[in-house]
Amino acid sequence: MELSDVLKLECCDIDFKARDKDNALEKIAKLMVKTEVLQKIDYSLIYEALKKREELGSTGFGRGIAIPHCQLDNIDNFVVSIVSSRKGINFDSMDKKKVRILVTIVGPSSSRSGHLQLLAQISKILKEPGTMESLCKTSSRIDLYERFLSNSDAEIAATQKKGEEKLMLLIVRDDAIMEDITEIFLEYGIQESTIIETQQMENLLSKVPLFMGFFNFTGDKNLYSRIIMLKISKDYIDAVIKGFEDVFGNLDNFSGLSVMVLDLSYSRGI
């Protein structure tokens, strides 16, 4: 099993905040159900399973690292999450130090061997010199995701095989949401994009004498829009769209933004 297949970007966070260990486990459970693999699972089932495992002994094994994990009967696949906490969280660790990096595993009860394999892989990565320091310096979710995988030689090839690029188009019909979109891009580490100013068909038709009077320019509808174009790895698409829906709600019911993803058959330059 490759970590690059089960680590989900939408389940990563670089500015994770929690009052204490219990609050951290609850927030992690809510983060885990953001991925499609677990979206039909109530987060409380994951939360309770993580707590039950912690009752056997803390998964905070020292040096600012914890690996909470649990197994569930009603799932078929593994999901791994990684979060970093700038201030640290009291996690009852063996060395009594606050935890700053938490890697969480949720897997099926039917695959105990797979669970142990993932625990061994993750533990090995986190024990490598410099890994902890590198992960704590990440500036975006994508940065955290990629640094974690790149710290394992076994994962480098798998990571390089992934990452087929797509062309994402955002059609923004409300200028007021541009700041929110920018913040989402910064959170995920998306820096390269192109913005095109456009006009909707109503604006063009309104200048044709035959159609004058059919369009209301005093209404609230904005006849101008923007198209944002960016290249994005196919592995990041679900996480970024989930980021939009965390802010704007279900995009199918939101008129201010549309998202399209197209195959990118040829690309040169940036």
Instruction: Give pLDDT tens digits for 54-88.
Output: 999 999 988 899 999 999 998 999 999 999 999 99
Instruction: Give pLDDT tens digits for 127-176.
Output: 888 888 899 999 899 999 999 988 765 444 444 445 588 999 999 988 89
- Burial class of residue 114 (count of CB atoms within 10 Å of its CB; 0-12, 13-18, 19+): middle
For the chain, how many structural domains are there in total? 2
Dist. CA 105–CA 59, nearest whole Å = 11
From 161, 180, 199, give the residue that closes a domain: 161
Name which of 57, 63, 79, 78 is nearest 8 in CA terms: 79
If you average pLDDT over residues 182-204, what whole number do you get? 78
pLDDT of residue 211: 45
Do 144 and 219 sit in the same domain of this protein?
no
Pair of tokens at residue 40: 């039909």
Dist. CA 141–CA 160, nearest whole Å = 18
Name the residue range of residue 99's domain: 3-161
What is the CATH number for 197?
A: 3.30.70.120
Do 77 and 211 sit in the same domain of this protein?
no
Dist. CA 262–CA 105, nearest whole Å = 32
Do 23 and 96 sit in the same domain of this protein?
yes
- Confirm whether pTM is higher than 0.85: no
**Lowest model confidence (mean pLDDT) among 27-31, 111-115, 209-213, 259-263:** 209-213
Do 153 and 21 sit in the same domain of this protein?
yes
Q: Does 270 reside within a domain?
A: no
What is the CATH number for 53?
A: 3.40.930.10
Q: Does 268 reside within a domain?
A: no
Do 104 and 229 sit in the same domain of this protein?
no
Q: Does 88 reside within a domain?
A: yes
Do 139 and 182 sit in the same domain of this protein?
no
pLDDT of residue 207: 52
Do 146 and 15 sit in the same domain of this protein?
yes
**Lowest model confidence (mean pLDDT) among 37-46, 166-175, 182-191:** 182-191
